[in-house]
Structure 1
Amino acid sequence: MHLTNKEILDKLLSYSEDLKHHYQLYQLLLFHFQNKEPEKFFGLIEDNLKQVHPIFQTVFKTFLKDKEKIINAL
């Protein structure tokens, strides 16, 4: 039996609500970054900073510290 990439992803995400939340958050961040929408990108980071895994918190804090540089790079 051959599974599509989407089926594999859906199966993996079904094992953990936490994983599913982080994956969806990552996809939204990626979307807003690629579409050069810094207000939405940083809004998501600020709204989710306290709820995400500590590894994400470290990355998010770094992004916030370098916010101006990131916006200029977009």
Structure 2
Amino acid sequence: MPPASPSVYGDDELTCPLLKQRLEQFQLWLAAAFDAGSSAESLVAARSDFIDRLLRRLWTFHGFEDIPETALV
């Protein structure tokens, strides 16, 4: 089972030490899934989704969605 989605992280979980730990846990999960036979394609998609959700969560947390003419590219 993959680690929890960043979209459900609470505000108190958005600290550098905790995010570093979550990223490390996700990397370990990816490695285990690869060793268990998951396709590289599915794991690349899973990592992309994880990072995208993390960036969107941080974007919202820091209030960038309320700033006109800003974009996360």
* Greater radius of gyration (CA): 1
Q: Normalising by structure 2, what TM-score? A: 0.41
Query: Which of structures 1 and 2 has the larger relative contact order (alpha carbons within 8 angstroms, sep 6+)?
Result: 2
Compare the two structures and name the one with the higher helix fraction. Answer: 1
